[in-house]
C-alpha cells in the first residue's frame, strides 16, 4: 500500500483561520452602505431583485422620487421602475469595459447637489459589476428560450408558457387561444431556391407575424416551418380574426430572387383552451384544425369544431 501523505500544519495556520473568521464577521456585520450593498447584491443573479436592492440602498443615502432602468437584452426590452416622477433628473449609462448595461435615470422634486451626484456615481460604481453579471445571466436564460434563426421564442419557451397559461385558465376561468401556422409548400422553396432563401423566408415570416400581433401576444417557432401564437384573454372568434391577420401578413411577403419574385402562404389552425384539458390536448386540437386547413386547400384558417 502507498503511504498517504500527511498535511503539515504550520504554526501560523490557526491564526490565519482566526483572521479569516474575523474578517468574515466584519464583512457580514459592516454597517457602511457600500459593503452592505455589495453583500446584498452578491446573493442573487436576478436583475429585477438587484435593482430593487440598489433602489433601497441608494434611497437611504440620496433621496429620490423615482428610479427607472431600461436595457435591451436579446431583442427584448427589460424595464424596471419604482416611485413617481419629479421634474429634476440625472441619468447614467451603465458602461463597463466598453459595453453598456442599461440606462438608469433618477427623478425628484428638488435639484440634485454636486455632492449627491458624486454619491450616486460612487454607489453605481459598486453596483455595476453585479448588474453586469445579472444582465449576462438573463441573456443566457433568454438565449436558451430563443430560436437562433428567427429570433422569436422557441418550443421550449412555448411549452413553459402553455403550462403556465393552462394553470391560469383553470384557476381564474380565463380564455386563452392558440394558433398554429404552417408555411405552405415550404419544402418546395428549399428545393427550388436553396436553404439560404428558405431561412430568409422564415425570418421574414416571423417578422411579419410579430408586426401583426398585440404586445400581449407571443409568437414561437414551433419547429421547421411551423409557428405558434399564444393569445391571452382571447376567445375563438377573436383568435380566428388574429389568425386571418397573420395569414394575410405572410401572404404579402415578396422576395426578389433575381429572375423571379417569391411569395409564400400559410395555413392556420385555432384552438381555445377548454376547462380541464391538458396542454397536450390543447395543442392536439390546434394541430387538428391546422390539418383541416391543409386538407381543404391551404392558405386558409380553420377553428377546432368545438368552438362556436
Nearest-angstrom CA–CA distance, 90 and 114: 11
Q: Does 225 participate in catalysis according to the annotation?
A: yes
- Give burial (CB, 10 Å; 0-12/13-18/19+) of 51: buried
Q: What is the pLDDT of residues 130-157, one digit of tens each?
A: 999 999 999 999 999 999 999 999 999 9
Residue from 57, 210, 225, 226 carrying the catalytic annotation: 225
- pLDDT for 308: 41
Whats the size of the chain, residue-wise? 308
CA atoms within 13 A on the CB side of 254: 5
Q: What is the pLDDT of residues 161-202, one digit of tens each?
A: 999 998 888 888 889 999 999 999 999 999 999 999 999 999
- Pairing outcome for strands 254-256 and 261-263: antiparallel
What global pTM score does this model have? 0.74
- pLDDT for 307: 43
> Which positions ≥6 away from 41 have C-beta within 8 Å?
50, 53, 54, 127, 130, 131
- Domains of the chain in start order, with CATH, are 30-144 (3.30.450.40), 155-303 (3.30.70.270)
- Measured CA distances, 71 to 101, 136, 138, 211, 277 (Å): 6, 12, 11, 21, 38
The H or E element that residue 295 is part of is helix 279-295
Tell me the three state secondary structure of residue 301: strand
Identify the segments of the chain with pLDDT beneath 70: 1-11, 306-308
Amino acid at each position: 500500500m502507498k503511504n498517504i501523505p500527511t498535511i503539515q500544519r504550520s504554526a501560523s495556520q490557526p491564526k490565519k483561520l482566526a483572521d479569516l473568521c474575523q474578517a468574515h464577521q466584519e464583512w457580514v456585520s459592516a454597517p457602511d452602505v457600500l459593503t452592505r450593498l455589495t453583500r446584498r447584491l452578491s446573493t442573487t443573479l436576478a436583475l429585477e431583485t438587484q435593482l430593487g436592492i440598489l433602489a433601497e440602498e441608494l434611497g437611504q443615502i440620496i433621496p429620490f422620487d423615482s428610479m427607472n432602468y431600461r436595457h435591451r437584452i436579446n431583442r427584448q426590452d427589460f424595464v424596471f421602475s419604482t416611485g413617481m416622477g419629479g421634474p429634476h433628473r440625472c441619468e447614467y449609462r451603465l458602461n463597463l469595459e466598453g459595453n453598456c448595461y442599461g440606462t438608469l435615470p433618477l427623478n425628484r422634486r428638488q435639484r440634485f447637489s454636486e455632492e449627491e451626484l458624486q454619491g450616486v456615481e460612487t454607489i453605481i460604481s459598486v453596483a455595476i459589476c453585479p448588474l453586469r453579471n445579472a444582465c449576462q445571466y438573463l441573456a443566457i436564460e433568454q438565449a436558451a428560450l430563443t430560436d437562433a434563426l428567427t429570433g422569436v421564442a422557441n418550443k421550449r419557451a412555448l411549452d413553459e408558457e402553455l403550462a403556465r397559461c393552462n394553470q391560469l385558465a383553470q384557476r381564474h376561468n380565463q380564455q386563452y387561444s392558440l394558433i398554429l401556422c404552417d408555411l405552405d409548400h415550404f419544402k418546395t422553396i428549399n428545393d427550388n431556391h436553396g436553404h439560404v432563401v428558405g431561412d430568409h423566408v422564415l425570418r421574414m415570416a416571423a417578422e411579419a407575424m410579430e408586426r401583426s400581433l398585440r404586445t400581449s401576444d407571443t409568437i414561437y417557432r414551433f419547429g421547421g416551418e411551423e409557428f405558434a401564437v399564444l393569445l391571452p384573454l382571447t376567445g375563438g372568434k377573436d383568435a380566428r380574426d388574429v389568425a386571418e391577420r397573420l395569414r394575410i401578413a405572410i401572404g404579402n411577403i415578396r422576395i426578389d430572387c433575381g429572375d423571379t419574385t417569391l411569395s409564400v402562404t400559410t395555413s392556420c389552425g385555432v384552438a381555445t383552451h377548454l376547462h380541464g384539458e391538458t396542454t397536450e390536448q390543447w395543442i392536439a386540437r390546434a394541430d387538428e384544425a391546422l390539418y383541416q386547413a391543409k386538407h381543404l386547400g391551404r392558405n386558409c384558417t380553420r377553428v377546432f369544431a368545438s368552438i362556436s
